[in-house]
Protein backbone atom coordinates (compact mmCIF):
# COMPACT_ATOMS: atom_id res chain seq x y z
CA UNK A 1 0.00 0.00 0.00
CA UNK A 2 1.24 3.46 -0.82
CA UNK A 3 2.27 5.87 1.90
CA UNK A 4 -0.31 8.35 0.61
CA UNK A 5 -3.13 5.80 0.95
CA UNK A 6 -1.97 4.97 4.47
CA UNK A 7 -2.01 8.67 5.35
CA UNK A 8 -5.61 8.98 4.14
CA UNK A 9 -6.57 5.87 6.13
CA UNK A 10 -4.98 7.30 9.27
CA UNK A 11 -6.84 10.57 8.76
CA UNK A 12 -10.05 8.64 8.19
CA UNK A 13 -9.67 6.86 11.53
CA UNK A 14 -8.92 10.16 13.27
CA UNK A 15 -12.12 11.73 11.90
CA UNK A 16 -14.09 8.56 12.71
CA UNK A 17 -12.88 8.67 16.32
CA UNK A 18 -14.09 12.28 16.54
CA UNK A 19 -17.47 11.24 15.08
CA UNK A 20 -16.82 13.44 12.05
CA UNK A 21 -18.16 10.79 9.69
CA UNK A 22 -18.43 12.87 6.51
CA UNK A 23 -14.76 13.76 6.75
CA UNK A 24 -13.85 10.16 7.61
CA UNK A 25 -15.75 8.86 4.58
CA UNK A 26 -13.97 11.38 2.37
CA UNK A 27 -10.55 10.28 3.63
CA UNK A 28 -11.30 6.57 3.27
CA UNK A 29 -12.53 7.16 -0.29
CA UNK A 30 -9.34 9.06 -1.12
CA UNK A 31 -7.31 6.11 0.17
CA UNK A 32 -9.34 3.77 -2.05
CA UNK A 33 -8.73 6.03 -5.05
CA UNK A 34 -4.99 5.83 -4.36
CA UNK A 35 -5.02 2.07 -3.75
CA UNK A 36 -8.04 0.01 -4.74
CA UNK A 37 -6.72 -2.87 -2.62
CA UNK A 38 -6.69 -0.90 0.64
CA UNK A 39 -8.90 -3.29 2.60
CA UNK A 40 -8.50 -1.21 5.78
CA UNK A 41 -9.96 1.78 3.95
CA UNK A 42 -13.01 -0.25 2.90
CA UNK A 43 -13.53 -1.42 6.47
CA UNK A 44 -13.24 2.13 7.80
CA UNK A 45 -15.58 3.35 5.07
CA UNK A 46 -18.10 0.72 6.11
CA UNK A 47 -17.94 1.70 9.77
CA UNK A 48 -18.25 5.40 9.01
CA UNK A 49 -21.18 4.86 6.65
CA UNK A 50 -22.85 2.65 9.26
CA UNK A 51 -22.36 5.32 11.94
CA UNK A 52 -23.90 7.87 9.61
CA UNK A 53 -26.92 5.66 8.95
CA UNK A 54 -26.02 4.92 5.32
CA UNK A 55 -26.75 1.21 5.55
CA UNK A 56 -26.52 0.23 1.89
CA UNK A 57 -23.20 2.00 1.40
CA UNK A 58 -21.92 0.37 4.58
CA UNK A 59 -22.99 -3.09 3.43
CA UNK A 60 -21.29 -2.54 0.05
CA UNK A 61 -18.04 -1.56 1.77
CA UNK A 62 -18.16 -4.56 4.12
CA UNK A 63 -18.92 -6.89 1.19
CA UNK A 64 -15.81 -5.52 -0.54
CA UNK A 65 -13.82 -6.39 2.61
CA UNK A 66 -15.20 -9.94 2.47
CA UNK A 67 -14.17 -10.24 -1.17
CA UNK A 68 -10.68 -8.87 -0.56
CA UNK A 69 -9.79 -10.57 2.73
CA UNK A 70 -8.97 -14.02 1.29
CA UNK A 71 -6.31 -12.40 -0.90
CA UNK A 72 -4.42 -10.92 2.07
CA UNK A 73 -1.03 -12.43 2.83
CA UNK A 74 -1.59 -12.01 6.58
CA UNK A 75 -3.95 -14.94 7.22
CA UNK A 76 -4.80 -13.87 10.77
CA UNK A 77 -5.74 -10.37 9.60
CA UNK A 78 -7.79 -11.89 6.77
CA UNK A 79 -9.77 -14.06 9.21
CA UNK A 80 -10.37 -11.22 11.64
CA UNK A 81 -11.48 -8.78 8.94
CA UNK A 82 -13.76 -11.40 7.38
CA UNK A 83 -15.44 -12.13 10.71
CA UNK A 84 -15.82 -8.46 11.58
CA UNK A 85 -17.18 -7.53 8.16
CA UNK A 86 -19.63 -10.46 8.19
CA UNK A 87 -20.85 -9.48 11.67
CA UNK A 88 -21.35 -5.87 10.54
CA UNK A 89 -23.35 -7.00 7.49
CA UNK A 90 -25.52 -9.25 9.64
CA UNK A 91 -26.18 -6.42 12.10
CA UNK A 92 -27.07 -4.00 9.31
CA UNK A 93 -29.34 -6.46 7.54
CA UNK A 94 -30.87 -7.53 10.83
CA UNK A 95 -31.72 -3.92 11.58
CA UNK A 96 -33.75 -3.90 8.34
CA UNK A 97 -35.43 -7.20 9.14
CA UNK A 98 -33.64 -8.97 6.29
CA UNK A 99 -31.60 -11.41 8.38
pLDDT digits (tens, 9 = 90+) for 10-39: 999 999 999 999 999 999 999 999 999 999
How many domains, the chain?
A: 1
* CB within 8 Å of 95: residues ≥ 6 apart: 55
**pLDDT at residue 95 is higher than 80:** no
Q: Residue 63 is part of a domain; what is its CATH number?
A: 1.25.40.10
Tell me: pLDDT of 97 over 90: no
Q: How large is the average pLDDT for residues 39-66? A: 97
Domain that holds residue 64: 3-95
Q: Please name the residues in contact with 23: beta carbons below 8 A apart, sequence gap of 6 or more.
A: 15
Amino acid sequence: MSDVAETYIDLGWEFHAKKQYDQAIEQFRKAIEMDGNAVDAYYGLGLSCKAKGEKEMAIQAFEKVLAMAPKLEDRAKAQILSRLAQAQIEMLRGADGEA
